[in-house]
Amino acid sequence: MNTEEKLTILARAAKYDVSCSSSGSTRSNKKGTLGSTHKSGICHSWTEDGRCVSLLKILLTNYCIYDCLYCENGASNDIKRASFTPDEIASLTEKFYRRNYIEGLFLSSAIMKNEDHTMELLTTVVKKLREEYAFNGYIHMKAIPGADQRLIKEAGSHVDRLSINIELPTKRSLQLLAPEKNSKHIISSMKTVSQKIIERTKEKKKFKKAPSFVPAGQSTQLIVGASADSDHDILRLSENLYQNMGLKRVYYSAFIPVTNKHQNILPAVNNPPYLREHRLYQADWLLRFYRFTSKELFSDTGKNLSLDLDPKAHFALNNFHLFPVEINKASKTLLLRVPGIGPKSTKKIIMARKHASLGFDDLKRMGIVLKRARYFITCRGKYFGGVPFKKDIIKNRLIAGPEYKQLSLWESGIT
């Protein structure tokens, strides 16, 4: 099999890996090295089938000893198989970079022979790129859970970001859909990376030239909709990972059936749950930047996010007794819970109200987006929602969205 055929197979096999963000690395180009991760060194662009076009996004191999029910690369699936050697991947990356096709490498793999063997090959790839090819560009690697800690640590010293996929949010789901995987191995490998990041961060504070370890942080990926796990299960896990493992990102991937073999176990999916995936990303954003807790985002009875409303608007309607908030008195925490008001707007409001009482027009002049916020605030005690402050009315307005009118060139008054 020639390189082009391998590339076709293994690039396609990587399309379900979504952890393609490169934020966090700021290593610039140096004399004698190739590539850079600084700012524009990596752009973020995805094709319709999920491939990141700025990174060479491939698997080392799609030969797999596991047979996960949701995975296209499962051992029992009848698909074309291929493997790269470490030299082939390193050479491809270098050539593609020189031709300006890519700006970095995203490398993942199915598990060939065993975890340690696969991890050793992956580590060899990144070591070759850094040491033999002097490649200084961005590298994101998916580590193999359960592989020898020494190999994971060695890989982490050469890559920018390391991911270890959890894939299914509960042990129950993992046992049902991926029984060969071990949740303890996954968590243990993630802890190894997390502890090493903390250790190296402390060293860097003392010694500027101390070697870095996974400078763009650790991430993971969760599949949405392959199991009966609720959004609450998923976000509670994400919250735990952010708080206790220091994860940089959790990625959510809508389940796409790849075979009809397991219809009795996997859910029937006519359309992948992309909207649910989108709502999870919105809720994840609230956890990371708005200081929400996963518990706040769900009502006492609901365990899934609303598909009609974004999580913040849904929270506001479920906690209607907290609103409207007076913009001149509300705490920072409460301002951050007003739909439409984010951290930057909150900061502007808190700074401005130190000098004068703010009115509705003042907020407009400050550039605060009031399209949704106006239903949940008062300014100097006055409500500007334009509709009665009633939960059902505001909910209907939020779902309906703003009314747009197509202007005509031939309306009266226009000549």
* Phi, psi angles (nearest 5°) of residue 188: -60, -45
Q: How many CB atoms lie within 10 A of CB 44?
A: 12
- HSE of 100, CA atoms in CB hemisphere, 13 A: 0
Look at strands 325-326 and 138-142 and give their pairing.
unpaired
Query: pLDDT averaged over the chain?
Result: 87
35 compared with 180, residue with greater pLDDT: 180
**For residue range 128-175, what is the model confidence (pLDDT) as tens digits?**
999 999 998 888 899 999 999 999 999 999 998 899 999 898 989 988
DSSP tag of 38 = S
Report d(CA 236, CA 240) in Å as an integer: 6
Q: Which of left, alpha, beta for 167 (phi over 0: left; psi -120 to 50: alpha)?
A: left
Q: Residues near 371 by Cβ (< 8 Å), separated by ≥ 6?
A: 340, 402
Report d(CA 195, CA 182) in Å as an integer: 20
Q: In what order do the strands lie in the sheet with 325-326?
A: 325-326, 377-379, 382-383
Q: Give me 32's structure tokens.
A: 């004698």
Does position 411 have pLDDT exceeding 90, yes or no?
Answer: no
* Phi, psi angles (nearest 5°) of residue 258: -115, -5
Q: Which of left, alpha, beta for 340 (phi over 0: left; psi -120 to 50: alpha)?
A: left
Does position 44 have pLDDT exceeding 60, yes or no?
Answer: no
Altogether, the residues listed in the chain come to a count of 415
Question: 91: pLDDT confidence band, cut at 50, 70 and 90?
Answer: very high
Max Cα–Cα distance, the chain, nearest Å: 77
> Residues 371, 340: contact at Cβ < 8 Å?
yes
CB-count exposure of residue 34 (10 Å: 0-12, 13-18, 19+): middle
Bond before 179 cis per omega within 30 degrees: no
Does position 212 have pLDDT exceeding 90, yes or no?
Answer: no
Q: Give me 146's structure tokens.
A: 């359960």
pTM: 0.85
Alpha-carbon Rg for the chain in angstroms: 25
Give the model's pLDDT for residue 4.
86
Report d(CA 179, CA 65) in Å as an integer: 12
* Phi, psi angles (nearest 5°) of residue 243: -80, -40
Q: Residues near 68 by Cβ (< 8 Å), separated by ≥ 6?
A: 74, 167, 177, 178, 180, 181
Q: How many CB atoms lie within 10 A of CB 35?
A: 25
What residues form DSSP beta bridges with 26?
none
Instruction: Give the residue from 198, 32, 4, 205 showing the smallest Cα distance to 96.
Output: 4
**For residue range 342-373, what is the model confidence (pLDDT) as tens digits?**
999 999 999 999 999 999 999 999 999 999 99
Kindly provide the b/e burial profile for residues 336-369, where b requires at least 16 CB atoms within 10 angstroms of the residue's own CB.
Answer: bbbbbbbeebbebbeebeeeeebebebbeeeebe
**For residue range 369-390, what is the model confidence (pLDDT) as tens digits?**
999 999 999 999 999 999 999 9
Does position 50 have pLDDT exceeding 60, yes or no?
Answer: no
* Phi, psi angles (nearest 5°) of residue 77: -80, 140
Report d(CA 314, CA 305) in Å as an integer: 8
Instruction: Give the residue from 347, 383, 389 showing the smallest Cα distance to 367.
Output: 347
Instruction: Give the residue from 48, 2, 22, 255 showing the smallest Cα distance to 10.
Output: 2
